[in-house]
Homo-oligomer: A and B are copies of this chain.
């Protein structure tokens, strides 16, 4: 190990259970850490680091869920890095859904256009759901399963905020049917019929 590397090795780290700098704009060219990105050199920070302009236009809703999720998480909006909050723009086509999912942190959901059925399920298996009108907000508590369904005849639009810069969105269908989990295990741990698993693996692109 040469000296330069040794020197470099000695600088890693840090810590704290609370924010100890004003901000820490993430540097996307550097490796991600459990807490997000390393800080960009403060002398190169500009006002544009604190602003995200990616929500100006609607997304296309042509996937199987007829939705488009535009996630302003820390990788897309590095100014959020370390600050405990993020946003997303959600476009739902007619018949569109955000399939049942979960994440590490709580979320507020603001309906901006259309009518949207939104719901949560708690750990007693009780579902709470209702149709939201324009201007309505729903809270989805930390880590609970929840979903949204376009309830109208026109496209719907929502903006959400979550209290983490990288909330860890986990869509149940994608976890089961779009990845590498073997069909045999999916059947056992979900009690699903083999044909149903096969059908959804095909639809969502998972391996067998």
Q: B-contacting residues of A (Cβ < 8 Å)?
A: 1-2, 4-5, 7-24, 27, 30-41, 45-48, 50-53, 55-57, 64, 72, 74, 77, 79-87, 97, 99-100, 102-108, 110, 112, 117, 119-130, 132-145, 147, 149, 159, 161-166, 168-170, 172-176, 178-181, 185, 188-193, 196, 199-200, 203-204, 206
Contacts and interface: CB of A to CB of B under 8 A. Distances in A.
Contacts of A173: 190-191
A79 to B, nearest CB: 5
Contacts of A170: 102, 121, 123, 143-145
A19 B193 CA distance: 36
B19 A23 contact: no
30 contacts: A1-B4, A10-B31, A10-B38, A11-B30, A14-B33, A14-B82, A15-B16, A15-B35, A16-B35, A16-B82, A20-B74, A20-B164, A21-B34, A23-B122, A23-B141, A34-B81, A50-B128, A51-B138, A53-B136, A56-B134, A80-B108, A84-B106, A85-B162, A100-B176, A102-B143, A119-B181, A126-B180, A149-B185, A173-B191, A192-B200
